[in-house]
Amino acid sequence: MTGEPTPDGATERAVPSTRRRPPALALFGEISARAYVAIAASAFGLVLLLWIVAVELRLAPESFLPSPGAVVGRLGELWADGTLALDIGDSVLRIGIGFVLATLLAVPIGILIGTYRVAEAAIEPLVDFIRYMPVVGFVTLTIIWIGIGDPQKWTIVFIGTFFQEVLLVMDNVKRTPRELVDIGRTLGLRDRGILGSIVLRAASPGIWDTLRISLGWAWTWIVLAELVAATTGLGYRITVAKRYLQTDTIIGYLIVLGILGLITDQVMKAAGRRLFRWADR
């Protein structure tokens, strides 16, 4: 765009005027912790408001869409008689055992196939092959193979998280800058030293995020595991409530699952920030 001529005959190019956006609205802009919490709380409040409006306008029968008050009241009843606490405790224990077993195996295997091509060729295609098999298809098989006890629930959580974890950890390890590995070799480090001092240190923040995401999947798989052949647990209670059209119990337990998942996710995030302060996250 051409501007007015200057006294020496040259043409001055006009500079378009731009308005600066607030830092929070800029690409990858930062916001304070207080603003983050306020925005998140507002989002939850909006969903709650829409729920209340839908109930007040009777957009669906009460048996299909109970009010927030009815859901809270039902959860209060189940907490008072100990049912809710028992279900939460059993589900958390099953998730914990299945997830820990999966992680103890997935992390070293993922590191192995992420650093050695021979191991990747031997393991990665098989893991990828099983990963595409639907977890729900293993429910009946695990009941036949293991029975209907808690080990069957652990196995479903294990299957649902292990294979994903292996591949994600492999990718975390492969993102290690090759320049750092070359520097380690130049300094005379052997493979074990490079793995411990460079690769694991560089990949640790990503591996931690992988565990956090996998733990979120575990909450989904425990519900699937408890839908069949269980006598306690959050998933079991949802199944029983479905038979009697107790939508207040179903919605209440789904909310409980969401709260528990959100708590574990935020705890993992906070722990990651403390454990890997040196990382550019």
144 in the same domain as 230: yes
Could you give phi then psi for residue 3, rounded to 5 degrees? -100, -160
Query: Mean pLDDT in runs of 10 for the chain (281 residues)?
Result: 54 57 74 86 94 90 90 95 94 95 96 92 94 90 90 94 95 87 80 82 92 92 84 91 91 94 93 82 47
Q: Say if residue 157 is in the same domain as residue 42.
A: no
Helical ranges in the chain per DSSP H = 33-56, 68-80, 83-115, 117-131, 137-146, 150-174, 178-186, 191-194, 200-226, 234-243, 247-275
Torsion angle of C-alpha atoms 221, 268, 211, 40, degrees rounded to 10? 60
CATH number of domain containing 263: 1.10.3720.10
- Kindly state whether residues 82 and 182 are assigned to the same domain: yes
pLDDT at 19: 65
Q: What pLDDT does 182 receive?
A: 74
Q: Which domain holds residue 78?
A: 66-275
Tally of domains within the chain: 2
Q: Torsion angle of alpha carbons 267, 269, 272, 273, nearest 10°? A: -110
Residue 18: predicted pLDDT: 54
Q: Is residue 59 part of a domain?
A: no
140 and 88 share one domain: yes
What per-residue confidence (pLDDT) applies to 264? 94
Note the Cα 20 to chain centre separation in Å: 35
The reply to whether 20 and 73 lie within a common domain is no
pLDDT (0 to 100) of residue 72: 95
SS (H, E, C) 85-139: HHHHHHHHHHHHHHHHHHHHHHHHHHHHHHHCHHHHHHHHHHHHHHHCCCCCHHH
Collapsing DSSP to helix, strand or coil, 57 comes out as coil
| Rounded Cα–Cα distance for residues 79 and 66 (Å) | 19
Same domain? For 192 and 239 the reply is yes
- CA 250/CA 254 separation, integer angstroms: 6
Give the pLDDT confidence score for residue 148 in this predicted structure: 87
Question: What is the spatial distance between Cα 257 and Cα 88, in angstroms, rounded to a whole number?
Answer: 9
* Boundary residue ending a domain (28, 52, 76): 52
Same domain membership, residue 244 and residue 161: yes
Residue 171 lies in a domain: yes
Partnered with residue 11 across adjacent β-strands are 5
Sign of the torsion angle spanned by Cα atoms 161, 166, 169, 175: negative
Residue 268 lies in a domain: yes
The b/e string for 222-258 (b: 16+ C-beta within 10 A; e otherwise) is bbbbbbbbbebbbbbbbbebeeeebbbbbbbbeebbe
In this structure, the answer to whether residues 262 and 130 fall within a common structural domain is: yes
Same domain, 234 and 137: yes
Contact in structure between 161 and 196 (CB atoms under 8 Å): no
- CA–CA distance, 122 with 102 (Å, rounded to integer): 19
- The DSSP output letter for 24 is G
With contact defined as beta carbons under 8 Å apart, do 189 and 132 qualify?
Answer: no
Instruction: Please give the structure tokens belonging to residue 6.
Output: 């200057």
Residue that has been written with the tokens 């907490």 in this structure: 79
With respect to residue 281, please indicate whether it lies within any of the assigned structural domains.
Answer: no
pLDDT of res. 15: 53
280 domain-assigned:
no
Assess if residue 58 is contained within a domain: no
Query: Are 95 and 168 contained in the same domain?
Result: yes
